[in-house]
Each structure stands twice: as C-alpha cells, then as structure tokens.
Amino acid sequence: MATKTNPGNYFEDFRLGQEIRHATPRTITSGDMALYTALYGTRFAVNSSDEFARGLGLPRAPIDDILAFHIVFGKTVPDVSLNAVANLGYASGRFGEPVYVGDTVSTTSTVIGLRQNKDGASGIVYVRSIGTNQRREMVLDYCRWVMVRKKNVDAPVQSSVVPDLPDAVQGGDLIVPHKIHIGSYDFDLAGSRFVWDDYEQGEKIDHVDGMTIEEAEHMMATRLYQNTAKVHFDALMQKGSRFGRRLIYGGHIISLARAISFNGLANAFKVAAINGGRHVAPTFAGDTIYAWSEVVAKTELSGRRDVGALRLRTVATKDKPCADFPYKDSAGTYDPAVVLDFDYTVLLPKRV
C-alpha cells in the first residue's frame, strides 16, 4: 500500500535534463482578474478595459503579466520547491502570447543545472519552466534556481552542472505580441502623458504609495495561484520556524511593487521580460510595502516605431518610504528595509 501523499522531490531526486509535466492545468477566468485587482489595486488600463485593449490591437483585455507568471510558477511548486530551503533567483524570463480569460495554462519544467552544496545536506536545482496555453503557444519561459534539501545526506548525486544564464534578456529576444500596435492610445484614460521618450537612463522614480499586507490577502493570493508551499499557510508549523510566523510568497511582493509602480510608470502597459530578481528579505503580514524604480536601460525594438522597451530595476521596501531610494551601501550590502530587487523589462508607447 503505497503512500498516497506527495512527498515532493529532494535534491537527490532530480536528474539533469529531467522533464516534469506539472499538475493542475488552470483555465483563467474573469474572477481571477477581479481578485487580482482586489488584491493589488492595479490600474494599468490595458488590463482593466477591453475597449482600451482593443485600441492596442488586442482582442480584449489580457490578464496582468505578473498574474500569468504566478499561475505558471505555482504549478512548479509541488514538484520543484516543496522541499526548498530558499528561492534563489530568476533569469531569462520572456513573456510570449498574452493570456486571456478562457485560456488554459499548463507548465512543464526541465532540470538545467544541479550543484550540491559543500555541506552535502542540500543543493541548488536550476529549472527552465515553460507555461503554455491550450494551443501550445508559449505564454512564459523562464529559469529559476532554488536550494533544495537532500532527504538522505549520503545519497549519491550527479556531478555539478551550472547553466550559463544571461544577466538580462537581450532586446532582440523580447517578444512584442504581433497584434500589438499603438493605434488609438488614449493618454487620459491611461493615466499619464509620459511615453518611452520621456524616460532617461539612470532616472529614479519614487512610486510614493504604500500598501500594508494582511494575512488573509497574501494567503488568498497564493492559493489563487495554487501555490502549495506550506510556509505561507500554516501558522502553527511556522511558530516553530526561525521567523515564528507565516512567510509571504515572494511573488506577492512583485505584484504589489508592479501595482504601486503605476504611479510613475502608468504607460508601461506590458511586462516583456524578467531579467532577474532577488527576494532580499522575507515579508510578513503587517508590513507596509513601498517601491521605487530606476531606468537601467532604454532599448529600441527593431522594426517598431510605436513601442520601446525600458529595462527597470524596481526595489520594494518594507516600512520605509522610498523618497531617498533605499538600496545598497558602498560595500554592496542592502539597506535593511529592502525586500525585493527586481530586474525586468517593460514596453511603453513611443512618441510619434
């Protein structure tokens, strides 16, 4: 009589090149869109209004790109990170086809790297995960690496392979869904007159607004994404952890930061890439999240006069407003208020 529950994979269970078809395909509903708005207060017009989306050549409002990320990501948790010690990083994330209500999203992953830690008790697993819709079109393709416990410290492991991951998605690899063209873009309705041309490399923007997080909110969000990591839900178990309480899913902070970034980046109508990201410190219910952004680079897109890309670093803090852009000190140590250092690329209309 086999054990029926899923113990998750331990470090020694992964094999280089292993392919995993993750469970729980998910048909996106307008309920997901409403909950996403209720949880983060996002205001990007293209995700809020079918009419506005049509002005960009889209059939109707797609879901927020970061919501698509959470749905794709959540499916990987039971197989990849149920026994994780830490979620270490992201790279090479590219968004493909926009996701619409009615689309069914599935995720598959490939193990692209494995490196045991020196203590032999854990190791780093690198996976490339691809989310697809019901037509097998790619909606998100990204890499992440996590530190995973070994179940048996003495279990033999493969020799180390660490994949060569780029610092950022290159401009030529960015995907602008081919339907998108800036036709009748209405800047009043979008909430800002600032276009791609108005931003400068090195420019810093304090997004001003703060948002305090409640336990009910981050748990509802994380369950909506069908992310099963226990640390987010089980207060009794967490009492015995070093934090003494439930940890908030790091992706919840990404969504808050993106929603807060509307104030200053209202025309960043699409996330095209996730270049990298680090959850610098854990967050808990009661924390108030603020954010600021720096324009890391401006990229012209070949063949596109109407759309340009900005590579951004958005930094989120807890319990510290961002008027003075808290980040790292001269030794490279993060300000203790910083919780997220997120490197991504967004699309904006260009001035015509």
Task: Give the contact letters, 281-320, x = binds to its own copies (CB under 8 A), - = no.
Answer: -----x-x------------------------------x-
Name the minimum Å distance from CB 54 to its own copies: 10
Partners of 111 in beta bridges: 127
Between CA 270 and CA 175 the distance in angstroms is 11
Name the minimum Å distance from CB 248 to its own copies: 13
Between CA 146 and CA 109 the distance in angstroms is 13
Nearer to its own copies, 104 or 170 (CB): 104
Between CA 286 and CA 212 the distance in angstroms is 6
Map the footprint of its own copies across residues 54-113, applying CB under 8 A: 60-61, 78, 101-102, 104, 106
For its own copies, the binding residue among 58, 169, 195, 211 (CB under 8 A) is 211
Map the footprint of its own copies across residues 31-50, applying CB under 8 A: 31-35, 37-41, 43, 45, 48-50
Q: Give Cβ neighbours of residue 137 (< 8 Å, ≥ 6 apart).
A: 96, 97
Torsion, Cα 321 325 328 330, to 10 degrees, reads: -130
Map the footprint of its own copies across residues 164-203, applying CB under 8 A: 188-192, 194, 198-200, 203
Number of residues that bind its own copies (CB under 8 A): 84
Name the minimum Å distance from CB 318 to its own copies: 9
Map the footprint of its own copies across residues 315-344, applying CB under 8 A: 319, 321
Interface with its own copies by CB under 8 A: which range of 161-169, 262-270, 327-335, 337-345?
Answer: 262-270
For its own copies, the binding residue among 18, 110, 158, 263 (CB under 8 A) is 263
Q: Which helix (H) or strand (E) holds 264?
A: helix 262-265
Q: Does 137 bind its own copies (CB under 8 A)?
A: no
Residues in the chain: 352
Give the 3-state secondary structure of 286-324: CCEEEEEEEEEEEEECCCCCCEEEEEEEEEEEECCCCCC
- Name the DSSP class of 273: E
Nearer to its own copies, 123 or 264 (CB): 264
Nearer to its own copies, 1 or 331 (CB): 1
CA angle 221/223/229 to nearest 5° reads: 110
Name the minimum Å distance from CB 41 to its own copies: 3
Distances in Å between the Cα of 330 and the Cα atoms of 87, 94, 327, 333 are 26, 32, 10, 7
Name the minimum Å distance from CB 290 to its own copies: 9
Between CA 324 and CA 347 the distance in angstroms is 26
Map the footprint of its own copies across residues 216-245, applying CB under 8 A: 216-217, 219-224, 226, 228, 230, 233-237
Between CA 207 and CA 336 the distance in angstroms is 19
Q: Judge whether 306 and 181 are in contact, CB under 8 Å.
A: yes
Retrieve residue 233's tokens. Answer: 């839900």
For its own copies, the binding residue among 13, 206, 294, 335 (CB under 8 A) is 206
Name the minimum Å distance from CB 55 to its own copies: 10
Map the footprint of its own copies across residues 7-26, applying CB under 8 A: 21-26
Nearer to its own copies, 145 or 342 (CB): 342
Between CA 50 and CA 37 the distance in angstroms is 15
